[in-house]
Structure 1
Amino acid sequence: MPTLSTPIRQHTYSPPTEQPAANALYQNLLQQPQEHLASARQFLQAQLRQASLQPCDLPDAPHQLNEWIRAGSVRTTCAYRDYLNARKQGQPRRFFTNRAHALYFLRSVAPTKMVDGAWLYGVLSQWQDWRFHTLVRTYLEELGDGESLQNHVVLYKQLLNTHELDNAGALSAGHYVQGAQQLALAYLANEFLPELIGYNLGYEQLPLHLLITTYELNELGVDPYYFQLHVTIDNADTGHAQKAAQAVLDNLPISGDADVFYQRVKRGYMLNELGISSMDAIEGFDLEAEVHRVLEQKALVARNMHSDFCRIEGRTVNEWLSQPGRTGDFLAALEKRGWIHRDTDPTESRFWQLIQGNRAPMFGVFSAYELQLLHDWIAGEWSAPHSQRQPRRYVASKMAAEPVDPDNFDADQAALEQQLRKLPACDLTEELIKLMSPSSHFTPAGLLATRLFARVMGQPGTGH
């Protein structure tokens, strides 16, 4: 079977005691990958053993993959048509109960989205081998061919920043499983090439949840462009889904055991079923619990910061905050005393007036995401009377306009490009590949390297 000459997605996650948790491995592989290859290998082997226990829906033979993709695409589009018809008949949103729910989802899947396409990094060194052409091109397209407004990680970073979700609280290790798998495959591509190809095959199929997510984010006024982009490029005709099937066929062994290769492809494909999936993130939202989590987190730093002038149900605010686990009781006391009026316009609640607005006494204490949580919790049923059900349409765009770069930024870019162009051809591609790693491809240097690499391949970067 083909190998590389140079190595360069539901369930509760419980890592074996002998290997690091997925969140720790995720960070290690982003920061110092070469020092953690042994842990990555151990993790990936354990994940593949678990994946082998999952039922697999791939066809029996590789030559049936294109028909399998087309059939899957038909099922997805028909299911989406049924969803749209149901919505037209007055059915509520299927995924997101409110805007806070949508933001919770964006936060929950961030570890995966922040390494989007990472599993393909390990094949860059083989860009001259025709068998890896579709995989290399897919990676470049994940990187937007070096254009910041098309780079998937840049787009997701902008989305997180817009809603102040970049520091929205700790996530469980299970949220990092998919990202850790992608990074492990990236740096162990030489050892797990069939599994990498299989993982790519599974990840690049167009799922129904992606279509519904795009539609409902748009309804709720959350820019859906990142998700819309994946709807178009993962199509079953000329998109990543078709390219993924072609990569399987291109790399089937001629003289080796093709059956063994394909079984390994299947195991890699099933890695998509591990960890916390997008549907798990959607279904795991509990507004009440999330509000309590946020307030408990705030209490850790807000204790003893309030005056004792105001008492609520016989206790000062400091006394309420000093007792962990009393958030529910505190909120109930605020309701009883009339500080919070549930199922009404939040602006009518004294508590909301304290935290929202430029002149609010607690302005800046809560992030945009946290304010949305509190708003939707207070509003409750008020947010959905018939007169308020018209969606706030967000016209999909390419996020924010690209910022104007200061002179010193342009100078740094020009200096880097001049430095790179002085390198011999072999050294140039090696340096470009380093800059295109999962931890740096979204930086100015990484974006420049991607554009130059695309030109080296003879395909100038043009985005999507």
Structure 2
Amino acid sequence: MTYLIQHAPYHLTDGAWLRGVPQGPMSATSAKLFAIYIDEMGNGDISQNHCNVYLGVLESLGLKVPSIFSREFVDQQSIFEVSFKKPLLPLTTSLFPTTYEPEILGYTLWLETTSPAQHAGLRRILERYNLSSKFSLLHTTIDNNTNGHGRYARDAVTMYLNQIMETQGEQAVQEHWKRIWTGYVKLYFHLQLNVEVNFMNEKSVARFHVKY
């Protein structure tokens, strides 16, 4: 349950890293990213919106979660400060979708290709303790690397680099690939935060460090 609570700030902003993708005439690359984004949003069905699904999981555990837009959400004593830092990198770069397009592609590649394996393990743990695994089941299905978001992400990167090759040449491809890889690796390190909890005098003290 601690895992689910501490990941609330991150999972309740699921999909927001792609909020800057064009929603009108778009390139083939943007079309792949938009396909991921619209799935994250629930494809018009608010009950399938990934953030709402996660909120439902928390509520099924008897947890009352304030609106993510409220000050009460930020002030929750049960959520450590480090947990609010997890969504910062993808959320801030999403404000500049053109400037950071290669990095956003890198984020997407890491998130979508590693998600099925991560959620498969979490799903087994949740089911073992008779907890709702709906959020993890959703991701192991929709993020698959054969014909799901993992495939979309790989296709988006390939299309992007092909376009750079056609318009700018090999050297530019190497430069843009470096930025994509930076986004991929940066998000990995950003999310690998360990939270160690010590209970002292009925108060919890969170200490964290980044794995390198």
TM (normalized to structure 1)? 0.38
Residue 260 of structure 1 and its aligned partner are, at CA, apart by 0.5
| Count of residue correspondences | 188
Name which of structure 1's ranges 200-209 and 163-172 shifts more when overlaid on structure 2: 163-172
Choose the corresponding residue for 1:151, options 22, 26, 49.
49
Residue 165 of structure 1 and its aligned partner are, at CA, apart by 5.5
Change over 3 Å in CA distance of 1:268–1:156 after alignment to 2: same
Q: Which residue of 2 aligns with 1:121?
A: 19
Choose the corresponding residue for 2:103, options 195, 202, 206.
195
Choose the corresponding residue for 2:86, options 178, 189, 203.
178
Q: Which residue of 2 aligns with 1:271?
A: 186
Q: For residues 135 and 201 of structure 2, what CA distance do their matches in structure 1 show?
A: 27
Instruction: State the one-letter code of the partner of 1:146.
Output: G
Q: Name the SS of the counterpart of 1:251 in structure 2.
A: helix
Change over 3 Å in CA distance of 1:211–1:139 after alignment to 2: same
Q: Contact 1:144 / 1:151 at 8 angstroms: preserved in 2?
A: yes
Q: Which residue of 1 aligns with 2:209?
A: none
Q: Contact 1:123 / 1:135 at 8 angstroms: preserved in 2?
A: yes
Choose the corresponding residue for 1:223, options 104, 128, 132.
132
Q: For residues 154 and 215 of structure 1, what CA distance do their matches in structure 2 show?
A: 21
Deviations 1:27-76 (A, max 9, x none): xxxxxxxxxxxxxxxxxxxxxxxxxxxxxxxxxxxxxxxxxxxxxxxxxx
Choose the corresponding residue for 2:32, options 134, 139, 147.
134
Instruction: State the one-letter code of the partner of 1:249.
Output: T
Q: For residues 148 and 240 of structure 1, what CA distance do their matches in structure 2 show?
A: 19
Q: From the two aligned structures, give the one with the greater strand fraction.
A: 2
Q: How does 1:30-429 map to 2 (within 5 A)?
A: 103-125=1-23, 127-163=25-61, 164=63, 166=65, 169-207=77-115, 208-252=117-161, 253=164, 254-256=166-168, 257-277=172-192, 280=194, 284=196, 289=199, 292-293=202-203
Deviations 1:81-138 (A, max 9, x none): xxxxxxxxxxxxxxxxxxxxxx100011111101101111111345533231110010
Q: Name the SS of the counterpart of 1:228 in structure 2.
A: helix
- Calculate percent identity across the aligned residue pairs: 23
Q: Contact 1:121 / 1:139 at 8 angstroms: preserved in 2?
A: yes
Q: Which runs of 5+ in 1 are unaligned?
A: 1-102, 297-464
Q: How does 1:10-25 map to 2 (within 5 A)?
A: none
Q: Contact 1:217 / 1:224 at 8 angstroms: preserved in 2?
A: yes
Q: For residues 243 and 151 of structure 1, what CA distance do their matches in structure 2 show?
A: 19
Q: For residues 149 and 137 of structure 2, what CA distance do their matches in structure 1 show?
A: 14
Change over 3 Å in CA distance of 1:232–1:136 after alignment to 2: same
Q: Contact 1:201 / 1:241 at 8 angstroms: preserved in 2?
A: yes
Change over 3 Å in CA distance of 1:290–1:259 after alignment to 2: farther
Q: For residues 127 and 197 of structure 2, what CA distance do their matches in structure 1 show?
A: 19
Q: Contact 2:5 / 2:58 at 8 angstroms: preserved in 1?
A: yes
Which protein has the larger Cα radius of gyration, Structure 1 or Structure 2?
1
Q: Which residue of 1 aligns with 2:69?
A: none
Q: Contact 1:210 / 1:227 at 8 angstroms: preserved in 2?
A: yes
Q: For residues 237 and 162 of structure 1, what CA distance do their matches in structure 2 show?
A: 31
Instruction: State the one-letter code of the partner of 1:227.
Output: S
Change over 3 Å in CA distance of 1:126–1:261 after alignment to 2: farther
Q: Contact 1:116 / 1:152 at 8 angstroms: preserved in 2?
A: yes
Change over 3 Å in CA distance of 1:228–1:133 after alignment to 2: same
The two structures, once aligned, show a CA RMSD in angstroms of 2.4
Q: Name the SS of the counterpart of 2:94 in structure 1.
A: helix
Residue 153 of structure 1 and its aligned partner are, at CA, apart by 0.4
